[in-house]
Structure 1
Amino acid sequence: MQIAEHSVVSFHYTLTDDQGQVVDSSEGREPLTYLHGSGQIVPGLEKVMAGRQAGDQFKVDVAPEEGYGVRHDELVQEVPREAFQGVQDIQPGMQFQGSGPQGTINVTVTKVDGDQVFIDGNHPLAGQTLHFAIEVADVRESTAEEREHGHVHGPGGHHH
């Protein structure tokens, strides 16, 4: 069966950066499973998955515009430490949720300098080309319930 709209797809992947460093991988774990066409994986990867079938192995480079987006300098800000009420020890790499004009935003602390905290609201992989090595493990038709809910259910169904 070929991957098409509403297929349930399971695949193994290794994601590397421009320097060839592994950023993420399914190695040693279960394959990643998603409902094709529901926006659960980056658009550039979902596009090249269409038409593939179990056993297919391929590599693909996904541009930032089709991955986690381009970097936006306005999402890098300096805020006072007091904005982090109840957090005693703020360290680079810590992640927080904040509110902005567009709603909830995830930010990462990039630097702490005295009473100032530098945060970045860009996705950590924004602006980067994503290099995927893919192996399609399984493709099946989705159930009516999976299509209705917009996500894959495990063996025996899913109860909300």
Structure 2
Amino acid sequence: MIAENNKVVSFHYTVTGEDGETVDSSRVRAEPLSILLGHGNIIPGLEKALQGKSAGDKFETEVACDEAYGPRNQEAQQRVPKKYFAGAQKLKVGDVTVLSLKQGGQRMVTVVKVGMTTIDVDLNHPLAGQNLKFDVEVVGVRDAEEVELQHRHAHGAGGHEHA
């Protein structure tokens, strides 16, 4: 079966940044990543690279920052009260942490400055502005189930329940 929109594609990957360091790898986990292709569940450049592939295909692809996490916005900094961070007392400059948003949800941020009651953060994704290199092995391609199409993402072997 060929990977195309509305198919569930399972794959292992290793991603390296511009410095050649491994950023993330599914190979350290037992299961490959499974996504519903064509629904924006992964960065656009990798989603495009998976199109047309089949189980057993292995390939490398470079994804430009515009097709990954976008360019860095030098003005994307914000001063945030410490109460919005878990473990705020332990944070230091350069740490990547999760910011709890007032309206619900979370966002990855990088600590720029730590004050007495506030923390200045860089709101850019830590990989923003970087071209990324992916080493990919497609493990499987299957038809999506109707519920996956409705939910716009792949479900695991045991299904998926929404709150």
Matched with 1:84 is 82
SS at match of 2:69: coil
Matched with 2:153 is 151
Q: Which runs of 4+ in 1 moved over 4 A?
A: 103-106, 113-116
SS at match of 1:131: strand
Cα distance between partner residues in 1 of 2:106 and 2:35 = 24
RMSD of the alignment, in Å?
A: 2.4
Which sections of structure 1, spanning at least 5 residues, go unmatched? none
Cα distance between partner residues in 2 of 1:73 and 1:12 = 33
Does residue 6 of structure 2 align to residue 14 of structure 1? no
Cα distance between partner residues in 2 of 1:147 and 1:122 = 30
Say whether the 8 Å CA contact 2:98–2:106 is kept in structure 1: no
Structure 1 stretch displaced more, 147-156 or 54-63:
147-156
Structure 1 stretch displaced more, 150-159 or 131-140:
150-159
Deviations 1:5-41 (A, max 9, x none): 1000000000001121110001132100000001001
Does residue 36 of structure 2 align to residue 38 of structure 1? no
Matched with 2:98 is 95
Of residues 117, 127, 136, the one that matches 2:119 is: 117
Matched with 2:66 is 65
Deviation at 1:105, TM superposition (A): 5.2
Say whether the 8 Å CA contact 1:97–1:107 is kept in structure 2: no
Which of the two has higher C-alpha Rg? 1
Q: Partner amino acid for 2:113?
A: K
For normalisation by structure 2, the TM-score amounts to: 0.83
The percentage of counterpart residues that share the same residue type is 45
Deviation at 1:111, TM superposition (A): 2.7
Deviation at 1:109, TM superposition (A): 1.6
Aligned length: 155
For normalisation by structure 1, the TM-score amounts to: 0.85
SS at match of 2:9: strand
Say whether the 8 Å CA contact 2:82–2:117 is kept in structure 1: no
